[in-house]
Chains A and B, each alone.
Chain A
Amino acid sequence: MNDKMEASAGLVTPQRFHSSETLLLRSGAKLPCFELIYESYGELNAARSNGILICHALSGDHHVAGYHDSKEQRPGWWDNIIGPGKAIDTCRFFVVCPNNLGGCGGSTGPLTPNPVSGRPYGPDFPIVTVSDWVDSQYLLMRHLGIDRWAAVIGGSLGGMQSLEWAIRKPGHLQAAFIIAAAPKLSSQNIAFNEVARQAIRSDPEFHGGRYLDHDGSPARGLMLARMLGHITYLSDDVLAQKFGRALQDEELKFGYGVEFQVESYLRYKGLSFVRHFDANTYLLFTKVLDYFDPAAATNGALAAAMAPARANFYVLSFSSDWRFAPARSREITRALLDADKQVTTLEVQSEQGHDSFLMPIPVYHRFMRTALERLHAALPN
């Protein structure tokens, strides 16, 4: 084992949970059976009380920490916070992260076979919602012999899952960490998602989502969608700092090739994303975001929607995040206050925009560590 691996959760092998229980989806559609691929780190204690569920966001998957093999260049996507001695300490907690339904990391989704046809679901995979995700994660929890998570933690779309867990399964989590999230998407958020979807759907290689049958993929469209998304994850300041108006070469070329460094960066980000992500999953997950609105069930009153919740809430936001700005987190906090829930908030000073929640900002990680240490001290062993 080399040094980088020793400081992490180490080598990890994804596992599979097969559910033969029919999942009735929010849309009315049914999934007769499904599989979730997940990773876990640390040990479940005898009282089975130290489980933490990590919920991933739009482009994430189950590989949240550690390495799959010694040749892997980079660890899981949130390795800086999850591991032995880290803020989400795998010496104390049993940390679980599944790839969500409809994902392309190995869970049942557009890439896996439709039992009816034997061919990949592709565009026929039913539209799922955050509440469907919570229901499937709940079945995974049961499968692991856990009745109650010590905490459900997620950033962005992952934070929306934490929020939904607290409302939908109130007896089954002690604490909900809602990080860089919003109680629902704004019109502007939905607008960005729609442009991303149109970029994918108007790619000639899309073939109505049946691109696998044509041995291709709408790579140009997906790349565009990711480039657009990536701009919304960063702040104006961080782009200015990173690239400013710096050129690739010494002088202007007066053409349409890549000239400014920011163009090259975005293309690189887009291209590397396309290599490992499925376009149908991207379409589906943007719809999951658009549909999320737990207050819809209570005529728009979020506080009323929160009424059943019993978790201890931690709501975190980042000053430079304009996708889900601190004001959006305050909407969640205000509803929790109105509903008389336990809530603690932190607005972290940051420069990296929405992506800040993935950054090892010291005060942010110390907050997480302190909250989780305290939570752990009160757990039955």
Chain B
Amino acid sequence: MALRNEQSLITSWIEIGSRVLDLGCGDGALLAYLRRERKVRGYGIEIDPENIIHCVNAGVSVLHSDLDAGLGDFRDHSFDYVIMTQTLQAMRYPHRLLAEMLRVGHTGIVTFPNMGYWKCRLQMAFGGRMPVSRTLPHQWYDTPNLHLCTLLDFETLCAETGIRILERRAVDHVHRSGLGRRLVPNLLGEIAIYRVCRAHPAA
């Protein structure tokens, strides 16, 4: 259910027939969906060979690569959209990958778990422990999430690095975005979904 909602929101942002790169594409479900619903062309990038085999089974073109090594195989502006769902926080250098995204793509779509969500804050403030939740199921010692952030953190980074935010959605774990999440997204949003581009396209 959750995945389907995130998918349909992202899908609504993607124009028909566009060229898409999906960073950390997992089993290729999103790309297969976009190909069906939006006739997109493109590739996934994935580090896990088992996921790559799933992608092959789904008929999705996928490149076996480590995103921490950058996107050096891709030319500037060679994609309409570069998508990164629930991957940014697991990167070694998230800010570098964001810059790479917007080098090879015109528009970036990024989703990540919001550490500013009130339940996370409560767990930190009163439990005195690192947050563990449905969207952040790991313990601090085994989490793949190296760089967790809040909506505010992300937006500050965007402002500092010349990234313009075109659209923002803060949703709960089933990707509903109610009135509260629209008014105080950093407190009430469990998952952040952004559409971004370069503030100065020529740069």
Whether chains A and B associate is yes
| B-binding residues in A (CB < 8 A) | 312, 330, 333-334, 337-338, 340, 342-349, 363, 366-367, 370-371, 373-374
Identity of the chain B residue whose Cβ is nearest the Cβ of A369 in the assembled complex:
B53
Interface-located stretch among B55-63, B127-135, B139-147, B194-202: B55-63
Residues of B within 8 A of A366 (CB): 53
| Nearest CB of B to A373, in Å | 8
| A-binding residues in B (CB < 8 A) | 19, 41, 43, 49-50, 52-53, 55-57, 59, 61-65, 73-75, 78
| Nearest CB of B to A353, in Å | 19
Contact between chains at A333 and B49 (CB < 8 Å):
no
7 smallest A-B Cβ distances: which pairs? A370-B56, A345-B64, A363-B49, A334-B73, A345-B63, A346-B64, A347-B64
Cα distance A103–B176 in the bound complex, in angstroms: 66
A and B contact pairs by CB, cutoff 8 A, 29 listed:
A312-B61, A337-B74, A337-B75, A337-B78, A338-B75, A338-B78, A340-B41, A343-B43, A343-B61, A343-B63, A344-B52, A344-B56, A344-B62, A345-B62, A345-B63, A345-B64, A345-B65, A346-B52, A346-B64, A347-B64, A348-B49, A363-B50, A363-B53, A367-B49, A367-B53, A367-B56, A370-B53, A371-B56, A374-B59
| Nearest CB of B to A340, in Å | 8
Cα distance A371–B75 in the bound complex, in angstroms: 27
Cα distance A359–B43 in the bound complex, in angstroms: 28
Residues of A within 8 A of B19 (CB): 340
B61's partner among A344, A346, A367, A370 (CB-CB below 8 A) is A344
Interface of A is mostly: helix
Cα distance A348–B48 in the bound complex, in angstroms: 11
Contact flag A342-B53 (CB < 8 Å), given A330-B73, A337-B74: no
Cα distance A367–B61 in the bound complex, in angstroms: 13
Contact between chains at A333 and B73 (CB < 8 Å):
yes
Cα distance A348–B74 in the bound complex, in angstroms: 22
| Nearest CB of A to B189, in Å | 35
| Nearest CB of B to A63, in Å | 29
Identity of the chain B residue whose Cβ is nearest the Cβ of A338 in the assembled complex:
B75
- Give 14 A-B pairs besides A344-B55, A367-B56 with Cβ atoms closer than 8 angstroms: A330-B73, A338-B75, A342-B61, A343-B43, A345-B62, A346-B49, A363-B50, A363-B53, A366-B53, A367-B49, A367-B52, A370-B56, A370-B57, A374-B56
| Nearest CB of B to A165, in Å | 19
Cα distance A342–B49 in the bound complex, in angstroms: 18
Contact between chains at A374 and B64 (CB < 8 Å):
no
